[in-house]
Structure 1
Amino acid sequence: MLKLSNETKVGILTVLGITLLVLGFNLLKGKSLFSHNKTIYAVYKQVNGLQPANAVQVNGLVVGSVTNLEVMGKDASRILVTITITKKIDLPRNSVARISSDLLGTKTVQLDLGNASEYLKSGDTLYAAVDGSITDALKEQLSPLVKKLQGTLSNIDSVLLSVNGILDTTAKGNLQEAIRGLNITMRNFSHTSASLNNMLDADKGSVSKTFNNLASISGNLKDNNAKITGILDNAQKATDALAKGNIDKTLQQLQQTVNNLNQTIGKLNTTDGTAGLLLNDKKVYNNLQYSLGNLNKLLEDLRVNPKRYVHFSLFGKKDKTKPLPSDTAAAQ
């Protein structure tokens, strides 16, 4: 049996350790030593924190990884990124390698496939692009707001300075008095609110009682709906009867009667006609009064001295004429 010295064993272990170290380092960098991969390159002005072993994706599918980043030149204006494609896919020559990040800040290289008929080979260079980070997007959105806020704060500061200049000691005292009055008003409002709460109470509130009364009235109306309907029908019948009657003709006749009455009264107010003369001519009234007086005397004389007008005597003796009572009374 071959016997190995300690030095040989140490050398073998050292070689194995170095080999494992190299393999592990390459695996951590995303390199595979046992497959034929495609290596392509992309040049960026900035990489936004991209690191080796970050994933390379096409349409969300991981097809490789970033294996190396190095600066091209001393000014660091160009950064060469080495990309290893482990999947057997064809990449059009006009594809774009775009650096993006998710909400957690994990960086990936997204390959946006082009439409060229020629495909990239190992060692070719891709077009490069960088998406803006979420922080940059927030900055773009917040920058106008910050400017507006600064302007608003400046205006508020100016207004406060103006107010301090306007409000002297007397004005400040008046303002304090107004605030005290506002406090009193708020307390009164609180009392009013409590009163409203009492009014709106479901059990004892007046509003609840009012609604209950309204409900009772509506219930009574509902119970007497048939009677109300009958009353309305009767009213409708009465109005129909009035509508069917010759109301217009009756009103015209009444108007004509009033006109005739007005004409008659007008004639009575004039001296035309016997009635007008009797009412308006004093001479006619006096003559009529005189005639009536004489007629009364004639009737009285006929009653007192009937034999003056009717002669009837068996012996032919004439009675004496008696004086009229009215004449006697007049003489006295």
Structure 2
Amino acid sequence: MSRELKTGIVAVVIIGLLIWGYNFLKGQDLFKGDSRHFFVEYNSIQGLNEASLVTINGLQVGRVSKIKFNDKPDKRGGLLVRFTLENDFVFSKQSIVRIYSPSPLGGSNLAILPNYEGDNAVSGDTLKGEIESSLFTSIGERLDPIQQKLDEVLEGADSLLVGLNQVLDKKSRKSLNRSILGLEYTVSDVRKTLKGVNTILEDNQDNLAATLTNAKTITDNFSQVSKDLAQANLSETIKEFETTLANVNSLLSNIENGNGTLGKLMTDDKMYNNLTNASKEMEELLREMKLNPKRFVHFLSLEKRQNLLTKKTIKKILVINRT
């Protein structure tokens, strides 16, 4: 075999290996002609590229073979991804192909989320695609509202500073400086006052200690008094007081019902009228004795007349009580 033939064979082998390697990197294996291919549409591929891996439940089953713009008029600007499967795993057309990032710093891959309901997917079908939020995308979505609020706060702070600059003109700044100086003098006076108070406290430390001792003694005395009151038999005293009140209530009830002499006197109008008549007759008798004393002197002596008057009065009272 000549040297030229050997060189030609080596060149052909090298060219073949280059073609195979190029297609392998693109996800196409020239030695496997029975592979299936599918399509999926996206608006953004999130760093997906040709030769990215295709997995099912974490197992590599294929590669992305081609990415191009969508030719459909209604989906102009979208992207059409073609991937091949080297596995005969069966799934339905309802399955979802998701773009995900296996690591924050790595590229994106495709993951097939298999669905087994409906017709089985065949080579050339277009599957439904979705995009999984990456770590940075999720952080960005969370930071967007914060950034918006921060912008609003900065705008408010800027408006506030502008307003302060408008309010604090030269005259206002001088007035503010005077106020600050006055506040400084006030703080100095407060310090002097506190120093004087400290001096008074130091000079009267013994008196304060004696006052606190006396206060403690008074507190102990109050504590002892409260202890004595707690130990006193207040329950028996309260019971006796309740018994006395019950007796008083019973007495008042008897008086109200007309029981006894006092009750009859309070409720019986006849007794009241008799006593009233008796007092009137006694009054008339005394008046008659004052007006005509001679009518009573020649019959009885003064002592006998008084005794007789007393007996008659007592007799009348007894008769009234009996009635």
- TM-score of the superposed pair, with normalisation by structure 2: 0.52
CA distance in 1: counterparts of 2:192 and 2:57, whole angstroms: 68
One-letter amino acid matched to 1:31: Q
2:165 is aligned with 1:168: no
Q: 1:116: which partner in 2?
A: 117
In structure 2, the gaps of 5 or more residues are 194-204, 249-323
2:24 is aligned with 1:23: no
CA distance in 2: counterparts of 1:142 and 1:73, whole angstroms: 36
Q: 1:92: which partner in 2?
A: 92
One-letter amino acid matched to 1:99: I
In structure 1, the gaps of 5 or more residues are 193-205, 222-227, 253-332
Give deviations 1:154-177, integer Å, cap 9, x for gaps.
333333333223223343123224
Shift of 1:189: 9.7
Shift of 1:104: 2.7
| Maintained 8 Å contact 2:94/2:118 | no
**Residue 190 to residue 27, structure 1, CA distance change in 2 (3 Å):** farther
| Maintained 8 Å contact 2:91/2:116 | no
1:150 aligned counterpart, secondary structure: helix
CA distance in 2: counterparts of 1:155 and 1:189, whole angstroms: 38
Give deviations 1:239-283, integer Å, cap 9, x for gaps.
67866888x79xx9xxxxxxxxxxxxxxxxxxxxxxxxxxxxxxx
Shift of 1:74: 11
**Residue 41 to residue 189, structure 1, CA distance change in 2 (3 Å):** farther
**Residue 186 to residue 84, structure 1, CA distance change in 2 (3 Å):** farther
One-letter amino acid matched to 2:104: L
Give deviations 1:111-166, integer Å, cap 9, x for gaps.
22234332122232222334455555555444444444334333333333332232
CA distance in 2: counterparts of 1:64 and 1:191, whole angstroms: 86
2:88 aligned counterpart, secondary structure: coil
Shift of 1:30: 3.0
**Residue 105 to residue 5, structure 1, CA distance change in 2 (3 Å):** closer
140-149 vs 104-113, which deviates more? Answer: 140-149
Give the 5 Å matches for 1:1-332.
Answer: 4-35=1-32, 36-73=34-71, 77-101=77-101, 102-131=103-132, 137-180=138-181, 232=228, 236=232
2:109 aligned counterpart, secondary structure: strand
Shift of 1:180: 4.5
1:13 aligned counterpart, secondary structure: helix
Shift of 1:37: 2.4
Give deviations 1:57-93, integer Å, cap 9, x for gaps.
2233332221222345499724332211123311211
CA distance in 1: counterparts of 2:39 and 2:240, whole angstroms: 110
C-alpha RMSD of matched pairs (Å): 4.7
* Structure label with greater radius of gyration: 1
1:80 aligned counterpart, secondary structure: strand
**Residue 171 to residue 74, structure 1, CA distance change in 2 (3 Å):** same
One-letter amino acid matched to 2:90: D
The structure in which a higher percent of residues are helix is 2
| Maintained 8 Å contact 2:50/2:66 | yes
Shift of 1:13: 0.7
1:81 aligned counterpart, secondary structure: strand
**Residue 172 to residue 37, structure 1, CA distance change in 2 (3 Å):** same
CA distance in 2: counterparts of 1:191 and 1:91, whole angstroms: 89
31-40 vs 180-189, which deviates more? Answer: 180-189
1:154 aligned counterpart, secondary structure: helix
CA distance in 1: counterparts of 2:230 and 2:93, whole angstroms: 98
**Residue 160 to residue 125, structure 1, CA distance change in 2 (3 Å):** closer
| Maintained 8 Å contact 2:63/2:84 | yes
**Residue 184 to residue 7, structure 1, CA distance change in 2 (3 Å):** farther
One-letter amino acid matched to 1:155: G
